[in-house]
Structure 1
Amino acid sequence: MTSDEAAERTVADERSLSPMRRTIASRLQESYQEAVHVTVSRAVSAESMLAAAATELEADGEPIEPSVVDVLVCALSETLSEHPAFNATFEDGTHRVYEEHNVGVAVDIDDGLVTPVLEDVGSKSLATITAERRRLTARVQAGEYSMSTFQGGTFTVSNLGPLGVDSFTPVINPPEVAILGVNRIREAVVPNENSEHGVGTEKRLTLDLSFDHRVVDGADAARFLGTLTERLTDAERYVE
């Protein structure tokens, strides 16, 4: 090849996007074209979350064990009550804040990432949230859903922790105002006054909050994560 010739490219495969993938692509493009994305991150202790997630509860007369995400949704709902500007949408220049906490929890299916909505989580116990999220996830993975399954959300959670991710920039689900990214839990070195060397280890994870800067500011997001951290470090009370 001479210097004025383009490099050769051999097509290995050519695919059209599925209808679901086209919808996802359109919404992601809409999100980045319209929202002003900013992401802030905070590492939090996962010890209390893990203890709560290891507790056997009861739902519909059957034993059930919550996941870390189920515990996080409880803490998130309390945080949204204290910071309602994040439990909202922004459309046509109007910031709409909602009473219900309708949390979309991202689910990975063959066509991509979708966000079925858990309705009104603020009115539900950890056991109920766990049972409903499991049923909803199973339905979506089995293809038993309609577009209404993904509508009416006021906030979204995306968990890439099971895939070993330490940090990422979640994309806001329009017209919502914010989305929370959840990463993997890992062992971290932390100060410990009772240790011989003044340090110890603790299970921790990083939370990444993306928000629309047209509607809320960085200081608002920092306070949001501060409140969420407080709730997560006392997560065992959700099983009481």
Structure 2
Amino acid sequence: MLSKRQSKYFKSLQLKKYRQAEGKFLVEGAKGVEEVLKSDWEVEALLATSEYLKTLDKGLFRKKFDLFEVKENDLLQVGTFKSNSTGLAVVKMPEQSLNANWEEEMVLALDQVNDPGNLGTIVRIADWYGIKQIVCSRDTTDVFSPKVINATMGSFTRVKVHYTDLRSFLSECERHVYGALLDGQSIYQTKLQHGVILMGSESHGISEELRPLVTHSIKIPGRGGAESLNVAVATAVVLDNFARNI
């Protein structure tokens, strides 16, 4: 049974200002909850129905956290799902700085990706292709928002997302920077090597201030009449080409 104070606290984490103040965020649904329990991320609390608790592997309770056995209605009151008969976890935000060896890995950079669904899907796609780190412009949407976390389907536990001044980051980066631009060279005709892959927003593309920092402009050639691709779809196509060629 949740107290009114507890319920208010958990619900407040839907909003960015409270997430940042508390350093905590919400993970909802069976898939996300189980992924975060399996990971080394710190869980503060788990809210779960009695039926869902029976399905969880006992090994997942090796972590120390507050456990609340609740009704489905309690989950709906504090979370964002319209239907949730399983659980909800309150998780501590980890340090999201780049790994020390980031220059040895493929890194994905995102410029002004504002749609939560797109960012969450991109994190999931990055996880599929083995990308461990994503560098975002400061005006990219918050990776810890419920919509983003839900869209990652648990991949947020394996992909670090770091926010910084992209101009400074790319200026200091001594690596190939592949930028997805409509006037770029066909990705199918470009020699691809390890480096940074820069994707812009669906509506504006890569911002003008970052374009001079792109060392290799690439594009996905189309055959139909569509003006552009969804940024998450385009990211999947680009990463697939890198995966097959390096």
TM-score by length of 2: 0.22
Of structures 1 and 2, the one with the larger relative CO (CA 8 A, separation 6+) is 1
TM-score by length of 1: 0.23
